[in-house]
Amino acid sequence: MFGAGALADAYQVAFRIPNLLRDLFAEGALSSAFVPTFAATRQGDGEAAARRLAGLVLGGVLVVTGLVAAGGVLYAEAVVRAISADFGGDRAKVALTVAATRVMMPLLPLVSAAAVFMGVLNARRRFLAPALAPAVFNVVLLLSGAVLFAVDTGAEHRLLLWSGATTLAGAAQALVQLPALVRLGVRPWPRLRGIVRHPGVRRIVGLMGPAVLGLAAVQLNVFVNTRFASELGDGPVAQLSYAFRLFYLPIGMFGVALATVTTTKVADEAARRDTEGLCARTAEGLSAAWMLTAASAVGLFVLADPIVAAIFERGRFSPSDTAATAAVLRAYSLGLLPYSLVKILAPSFYAVDRPRIPLVASSAAVVVNLAFNAATYRTLGAPGIALGTTLGAFANVAVLRVAFARRIGRVRAFGSFREAVALALALAALGSLAYGGAWSIEVGVAVATEHAGTTAGRLVRLVALAAVIVASASLFVAILVRLGYPGARLLAGLPGGLVARLRGGRTRGGSPP
């Protein structure tokens, strides 16, 4: 609907403001601090005490984020001008962004409540509803987009309606988790009485302090990078956002899922003061992340152009937009693995009450990112900004790995040199097949477009791309299974197991294999 120009830039900057605050207060710092504290309270003081803690945290979060959201509505123009560098003096673009920001600010308390619900369910090892909640957010947006696409209205009006749909999607993300909480006997009701003196709340605030500072450093990264991109004219802000969506897909599917399960297990081991078990659970998460996200990184890098074209190239999104966004995606994909490893390593430090180490790591990432981008953004453009994010992720994971070995214990992603070689061979095979497939896709699209038109070319690209991805992934898994890589057989059986569970009727939330 909006292409990759001025309108898309306005929406992306407007959405980025509550989204930055959400990452800062809710799904970032709060989740890292809440899950281990909730788990320790359940084990030490019982279920009733844990439920009271959840109510107090929910009440405190709603008050704080509600005030922040109100401030965002009142001072939206000042915030937009700061984060966008005034869009180079484009007043109409600034005004549209301000209006969209005000519509979306209520997203912050809604998604913050969803994060508390998610923490309670994850701590109880109920993973299905929290995993579906962000998907519900997306489904609401998709349905809203379909309606808006069919409505004959001006582009700016459509953008504001889309912003309202984004806030509605945030409400859906919170509400969809309520049935799972009720089935557990949890009545999520906010409380405030006794919040200041409660030891669990104090521990969460103590853990959140360094976490907020660390995430603030990361968000400073995003803030400054947005300013860099805004100074490059119309398009780079949207290109970075579209590419980041694709980059984040495997992180959401694999990195966040692994981090969620690993965090819960690590919290349990920390509550039992079992350092050896904590290291073992972390090593399992790292091994799985290497297997899943390294493959995704290779696939995204090699297939960047057909992926972007298949998903975005229509309507106002042109072939030149595809080429520009694909270049950004390649730069992001190089950081996919370290980005996922950070999500697995960092929660261990919160579980053992060492929250300053992730702060130091994220600060190192910010320094590397901003230094690189400040020096290169005018020459390298949007791909350079994405590359700065990748270099920052490498710095982050390097600090965490060193600190983990010194402060917690030894942890290895690979049990042996043979496992590392097996993964390298599988990745090489995947990349080679995908590279040949990318060439074949472009040939097929050109032939279909010439003989049957643009629509036929798009259909050929979509079908061929799906076939290349399935074939490359199947080859990758088959090699790992043949060479005995840990978890490869479980991965090979996952599609069949998922189909069996869906056919079996109602699926119960529980720990995945």
pLDDT in tens, 294-309: 999 999 999 999 999 9
510 has pLDDT over 60? no
Is 452 part of a structural domain of the chain? no
In the Cβ-directed half-sphere of 97, how many Cα atoms lie within 13 Å? 32
pLDDT recorded at residue 465: 95
* Range of lowest pLDDT (171-175, 259-263, 331-335, 466-470): 259-263
Task: Tell me the angle at which helices 199-230 and 236-250 cross, rounded to the nearest 10 degrees.
Answer: 140
Q: Which residue has the tokens 């509505």?
A: 73
Domain that holds residue 66: 1-210
Is 89 part of a structural domain of the chain? yes
Question: Nearest 10 degrees: CA dihedral of 319, 324, 328, 329?
Answer: 10
Contact 293, 423 (CB under 8 A): no
d(CA 405, CA 12): 39
In the Cβ-directed half-sphere of 358, how many Cα atoms lie within 13 Å? 30
Q: Per 3-state DSSP, what percentage of the chain is helix, strand, and coil (rounded to 5)?
A: 85, 0, 15
Is 76 part of a structural domain of the chain? yes
Is 460 part of a structural domain of the chain? no
pLDDT in tens, 221-269: 767 777 788 788 778 888 888 898 899 888 877 767 777 777 777 777 7
The predicted model gives 327-333 an average pLDDT of 94
d(CA 310, CA 453): 15
Categorize the per-residue pLDDT at 509 as very low, low, confident or very high, splitting at 50, 70 and 90. very low
pLDDT recorded at residue 65: 86
Is 355 part of a structural domain of the chain? no
The predicted model gives 207-215 an average pLDDT of 68
Is 259 part of a structural domain of the chain? no
DSSP for 7-22, please give it. HHHHHHHHHHHHHHHH
Is 59 part of a structural domain of the chain? yes
pLDDT recorded at residue 464: 94
Categorize the per-residue pLDDT at 74 as very low, low, confident or very high, splitting at 50, 70 and 90. very high
d(CA 126, CA 180): 8
6 has pLDDT over 80? no
512 has pLDDT over 60? no
Which residues, 6 or more positions from 490, have their beta carbon under 8 angstroms from its beta carbon? 513
d(CA 68, CA 284): 38
Mean pLDDT (the chain) is 84
The number of folded domains in the chain is 1
pLDDT recorded at residue 330: 95
The predicted model gives 399-419 an average pLDDT of 84
Entry pTM: 0.70
Highest mean pLDDT among 38-42, 189-193, 437-441 belongs to: 437-441
d(CA 293, CA 338): 9
**3 state SS of 213:** helix
d(CA 493, CA 479): 14
5 has pLDDT over 90? no
506 has pLDDT over 50? no
Is 360 part of a structural domain of the chain? no
pLDDT recorded at residue 507: 43
d(CA 83, CA 226): 7
219 has pLDDT over 80? no
Alpha helices in 184-335 (DSSP H): 199-230, 236-250, 256-271, 275-302, 304-312, 319-333
458 has pLDDT over 80? yes
32 vs 107, residue with greater confidence: 107
Instruction: Show the tokens assigned to 377.
Output: 């953004």
Q: Among 125, 235, 205, 107, which Cα is nearest to 164's?
A: 107
The predicted model gives 314-332 an average pLDDT of 90
* Range of lowest pLDDT (321-325, 463-467, 479-483, 487-491): 487-491
459 has pLDDT over 80? yes
